[in-house]
Structure 1
Amino acid sequence: MAMTLRLSDEENAHLAQLAEAEGRSKQEILRLALADRWSRLQKEQQLGEVLGRVLPRYKGLLDRIGTA
C-alpha cells in the first residue's frame, strides 16, 4: 500500500543521515523502525499478561516483603 509521510526538514535530514550511515534506503529505515516498535509493543503486552497472572499468586508474599 502506498502512503505519504510528511516529515519536517529536520526529521527528513535525520532520516537521510541514518539511512546513509546504515547503507539503507529511507524507506527501509522506516520499515525497520515500525517492525521494532511493533515487536516492543507485543513484548510489553505479553509481559503485562504474565504479570497479571503471576502477581496475584504472590500478592501475600509481596505485601510481606514490602512491609519488612
Structure 2
Amino acid sequence: MPRHCTLRLPDGLGAKLTGRARREGRSKQELAIEAIRDTQDRAEPEVDDVLAELMDSHAEILDHLK
C-alpha cells in the first residue's frame, strides 16, 4: 500500500523538477520516484558482484584457508 509523504525541495530544484515534468508530460511524483530508484540501484551493488570481487582480491588468502 502506498504511503503518503511530503517532499520539500529548495526553490531552484523544485522549479527544475516542475519544468522537466512539463517537458516530459510526466508527474513530479513519477520523476522523483524514478530518481530515487535509480540512485538506490546504483548504490546497492549486486551480491554476486561483491562476492566475485572479494574472491578475486582475496584469492590467495582464501586458498590458504582451504
Q: Report what 1:35 is aligned to.
A: 37
TM-score scaled to structure 2, two decimals?
Answer: 0.70
Provide the rounded CA distance (Å) in 1 between the counterparts of 2:47 and 2:35: 18
- Are 2:25 and 1:20 aligned? no
Unpaired runs of 5+ in structure 1?
A: 59-68
> How do 1:1-68 residues align onto structure 2 when only pairs under 5 Å count?
1-43=3-45, 47-57=49-59
TM-score scaled to structure 1, two decimals?
Answer: 0.68
Provide the rounded CA distance (Å) in 2 between the counterparts of 1:27 and 1:46: 32
- Summarize the Cα distance change of 1:46–1:6 in structure 2 as closer, same or farther, 3 Å threshold: farther
Unpaired runs of 5+ in structure 2?
A: 61-66
- 1:46: Cα distance to partner? 5.3
Higher share of residues assigned helix: 1
What is the percentage of aligned positions where both structures have the same residue? 33
Provide the rounded CA distance (Å) in 1 between the counterparts of 2:51 and 2:23: 38
What RMSD in Å do the two structures reach over aligned CA positions?
2.2
Moved over 6 A (4+): none
